[in-house]
Amino acid sequence: MSRFLSLAPALLVLVGVLALALPALGQTRGLGRPALPEEIKAWDIDLRPDGHGVPPGQGSVKEGEAIFLKQCAACHGEFGEGAGRWPVVAGRESLVNENPEKTVGSYWPHVTTVFDYVRRTMPFGNAQSLTDGEVYALTAFLLHMNDLVKEDFVLASDTIAAVALPNAGGFYDDDRETTEKHFWGTEPCMKNCKAEVTILNRARALDVTPDDKGAPKVE
């Protein structure tokens, strides 16, 4: 007991020195400030395929068409075919084609992703200006343009996570370390590795390199 008492001041001093030199977690906890529920609500706009973040509301193909023609078609085309070089948003082309067109209909795996994307960044140049109802309607119309739903379809918070897109099963996790295992561990040839070399193709045959005179147009 008496030994403890006599040690105590020394320990306190030691702890004090350490705290000055090495702020522990207790001190980084004091950095920043608590996020208020209203603040989290204002910024937490993300959706996930499992239904996380899906906001209340609904919208029909018909309503979506009217908004799309006014706010989206100038870039994406009346039928989602893409005006000029702007992105195509409709089409069900096969993914094994040369230059396949990746759209909501042909490639995107989840409807929640369409909602999330349109809500956070479209229309291009006026992001986060749409109401949730408008985004439901636009998402419904995008599905319709991709021949995935009929024209009387209504998309709603309680159905969005259940709508399946054709390419939902088209993805698998990075497998390079197995399917490309042969890129590892082989000592490459250094001398007389091949008999002859032929040029297979050159950029000049397809010279799309920009220069200061202006780039060639590829539409």
Question: Within positions 131 to 190, which residues make up the interface with ligand HEC, using CB under 6 A?
Answer: 138, 142
Taking the mean position of all CA atoms in its chain, how far away is CA 151?
28
Binding partner at 210 among ligand HEC, another protein, none, C-beta below 5 to 8 Å by kind: another protein
155: CB partners within 8 A, 6+ apart: 58, 59, 60, 111, 136, 137, 139, 140, 143, 149, 163
CB atoms within 10 A of CB 113: 16
CB 118 within 8 A of CB 127: no
Q: What angle do CA 143, 69, 158 make, to 5 degrees?
A: 35
Instruction: Calculate Rg over the CA atoms of the chain.
Output: 29
Binding partner selected for residue 50 from another protein, ligand HEC, none, CB under the kind-specific 5 to 8 Å limit: another protein
Going by C-beta distance under 8 Å and a sequence separation of 6 or more, which residues neighbour residue 139?
59, 64, 111, 114, 115, 118, 155, 160
Residue closer to another protein (CB basis): 16 or 216: 216
Number of C-beta neighbours around residue 56 at 10 A: 10
Question: Which does residue 71 bind out of another protein, ligand HEC, none, counting CB within 5 to 8 angstroms by kind?
Answer: ligand HEC
Give the span between the Cα atoms of 136 and 124, in whole angstroms. Answer: 18
Is residue 49 a contact point for ligand HEC (CB under 6 A)? Answer: no
Nearest approach, Cβ of 119 to ligand HEC (angstroms)?
10
Nearer to ligand HEC, 54 or 91 (CB): 91
Cross-strand partners of 164: 110
Tell me whether residue 59 or residue 123 sits nearer to ligand HEC (CB atom): 123
Q: At its nearest, how many Å lie between another protein and the CB of residue 2?
A: 38
What does each C-alpha distance from 214 to 39, 205, 211 come to in angstroms? 47, 18, 6
Instruction: Tell me, residue by residue from 104 to 133, as one string, x for binding to ligand HEC by CB under 6 A and - for no binding.
Output: ----------x--xx---xxxx--------
| 52/120 with CB nearer ligand HEC | 120
Q: Residue 166: is the preceding peptide bond cis (ω within 30°)?
A: no
Give the one residue of 99, 150, 152, 162 binding another protein; rule: CB under 8 A.
Answer: 99
State the nearest-atom distance from the C-beta of 150 to another protein, in Å. 24
Q: Which is nearer to ligand HEC, 54 or 142 (CB)?
A: 142
Q: Which of residues 10, 44, 150, 152 is near another protein by CB under 8 A?
A: 44
Chain residues in the site for ligand HEC (CB under 6 A): 71-72, 74-76, 86-87, 89, 102-103, 114, 117-118, 122-125, 138, 142
